[in-house]
Copies of this chain bind each other. A is one copy, B any other.
Amino acid sequence: MNPLLREIRHNPLLWLLIFVPAVFAGESLSPDAHTLLFVLSVLAIVPLAALLSHATESVAAKTGDAAGGLLNATLGNLTELVIALAALRAGEYMLVKASIAGAVVTNSLFMLGASFLLGGLKHHVQEYNRASARLQAGLLFLATVALLIPSAVGTIDTAERAVFIHTLSVGLAVLLIVAYGLGLLFSLGTHREFFGSAGHGEDGEAPWPLGLALATLAGVTVLVALVSEVFVESVQKAAEAFGMTPAFVGFIVVALVGAAAEMASAFSGARKNRLDLSVGIALGSASQIALFVAPVLVLLSYVLGPMPMDLQFWPGAVVMILVSTLTATLMTNTGRSAWFLGALMLMMYLIFAMTLYLLPPRAQ
Which A residues fall within an 8 A CB radius of B? Answer: 124-125, 135, 138-139, 141-142, 145-146, 148-150, 152-154, 156-157, 160-161, 164, 167-168, 171-172, 175, 178-179, 182-183, 186, 190-191, 314-316, 319-320, 323, 327, 329-331, 338-341, 343-344, 347-348, 350-352, 354-355, 358-360, 362-363
Contacts of A351 in B (CB 8 A): 142, 145-146, 149, 172, 175
The minimal Cβ–Cβ distance linking A81 to chain B, given in whole angstroms, is: 23
User: CA of A331 to CA of B134 in the docked complex: distance in angstroms?
Assistant: 10
If A157-B360, A347-B175 touch, whether A354 touches B168 (CB-CB below 8 Å) is yes
Once bound together, how far apart are the Cα atoms of A183 and B183, in whole Å? 36
Q: What are the 9 closest A-B residue pairs judged by CB atoms, nearest first? A: A156-B363, A186-B340, A152-B319, A153-B316, A160-B360, A179-B347, A171-B354, A149-B355, A182-B343
Are A141 and B315 interface neighbours, CB within 8 A?
no
Which residues does chain B contribute within 8 Å of A179, judged by CB atoms? Answer: 343-344, 347
A351–B148 Cα distance when bound, in Å, is: 11
Is the pair A154, B315 in contact by a Cβ cutoff of 8 Å?
yes
Known contacts A153-B316, A186-B340; is-contact A323 B359 (Cβ 8 Å): no
Given A168-B355, A179-B344, A355-B168: A339 and B190 interface contact (C-beta under 8 Å): yes
- Residue pairs across A and B with Cβ atoms less than 8 A apart, 7 shown, are A135-B340, A145-B323, A154-B315, A156-B360, A157-B363, A160-B360, A179-B344
Give the CA-CA distance A149 to B351 in the complex, in Å: 8
Asked if B355 contacts A153 (CB within 8 A), the reply is: yes
| Selected contact of A340 from candidates B168, B175, B191, B339, CB within 8 Å | B191
| Shortest distance between the CB of A167 and any CB in chain B (Å) | 5
A316 to B151, CA, bound (A): 9
Task: Please state if A175 and B330 are interface contacts (CB–CB under 8 Å).
Answer: no
Contact of A360 among B161, B330, B360 (CB under 8 A): B161
Chain B residues with Cβ under 8 A from A354's Cβ?
168, 171-172, 175
Q: Is the CB of B338 within 8 A of A138?
A: no
B352/A149 in contact, CB under 8 A: yes
Closest beta carbon of chain B to A129's beta carbon, Å = 14
Contact status A139-B360, CB under 8 Å: no
Q: Which residues of B have CB within 8 Å of A164?
A: 358-360, 363
Task: List residues of chain B with CB within 8 A of the CB of A352.
Answer: 149
Point out the residues of chain B lying under 8 angstroms from A167, CB to CB. 358
Instruction: Please determine whether A157 and B362 come into contact, CB atoms closer than 8 angstroms.
Output: yes
- Of all chain B residues, which has the CB nearest A360? B160
Q: Chain B's nearest CB lies how many Å from the CB of A313?
A: 12
